[in-house]
A = this chain, B = another copy of it.
Amino acid sequence: MSAIDKYNKRAKKINSLLCVGLDPDFEKIPEKFKATPFPQFEFNKYIINETHEYAAAYKPNIAFYEAKGAKGISELQMTTDYIQKNHPDIFIMLDAKRADVGNTNTGYVTEAFDLLKVDGITINPYLGQEAVQPFLNRIDKISSVLALNSNPGAGEFQNLDVGGGKKLWQQVVENVSTKWNTNNNCMIVMGATHPEEMKEARSMTGATFLVPGIGSQGGDLEMVMRNGLDSDGLGLMINSSRGIIFSEDPKKEAQKLCEEIRKYQTN
């Protein structure tokens, strides 16, 4: 089974391309969770219990846990353990945007894949393939490479013309597709706020896109679906974090987004 198969299997089984971002920003967690010994974990447990039937993937962003130091990392571990025990077929993407030089990455690889036992991790391409090879060598796991992010200022470098009208993010997509992905274990991060570019990226690669920026960041779901789906009606992992987890009714919001996704899934 290739690394992406776990996600595709779950996506097909529940007919969903939804990824729920587990970003337990401590300031925003309801007070009742803060009164427990493990607030971030208890909040996540609640979110997972509410949303799992619509979730093809969960994506904890490690920054929110690191804000709490060693305790936060323990609660992240409790969270990934909880998902693996109760919903072993749901894909877990660790959003960490990591990258260091060569074997230094081994520390991050160990943390993500051997301690937290997540299925994938987001990585930053700036240091080049040679640097992040320790991630790519894990053929049992997904490396999801940043190409074009959803933040307003992402273009400062990502949109620079690197020759012949090609932009840096396109060069990243090209290199990942033709060189980095020999183990068929790469995904690519394409922000929902750039639907035209997603069309372009889809023409360049068959890799699955991790798509942040739906919901509070203003990405257009219909355009994302139209431009990003592959010929199997897969190829997208569509993330929403705040729009679901800090809503009045996370279950209802997850269901709503899941059903919107299904509406545009014409295959």
Q: Nearest Cβ distance between residue A52 and chain B, in whole angstroms?
A: 24
Question: CA–CA, A212 to B108, complex, Å?
Answer: 19
Partner of A100, one of B61, B77, B102, B158: B61
Contact with B along A125-167 (1 / 0, CB 8 A): 1111111000000000000001001111111111011110000
Q: CB-CB < 8 A to A158: which residues of B?
A: 126-128
Question: CA–CA, A162 to B92, complex, Å?
Answer: 36
Contact A151 B126 (CB under 8 A): no
Contact B157 A171 (CB under 8 A): yes
User: In terms of DSSP, what is the predominant structure of the interface of chain A?
Assistant: helix
What interface size band does chain A fall in? 35 or more
User: Can you tell how many copies of this chain the complex includes?
Assistant: 2
Q: A119 interface residue, CB < 8 Å from B?
A: no
Q: CB-CB < 8 A to A212: which residues of B?
A: 101
Q: Nearest Cβ distance between residue A157 and chain B, in whole angstroms?
A: 6
Q: Nearest Cβ distance between residue A189 and chain B, in whole angstroms?
A: 10
Q: CB-CB < 8 A to A150: which residues of B?
A: 101
Q: A42 interface residue, CB < 8 Å from B?
A: no
A-B contact pairs, 5 of them (CB 8 A): A66-B111, A97-B98, A124-B126, A130-B156, A160-B168
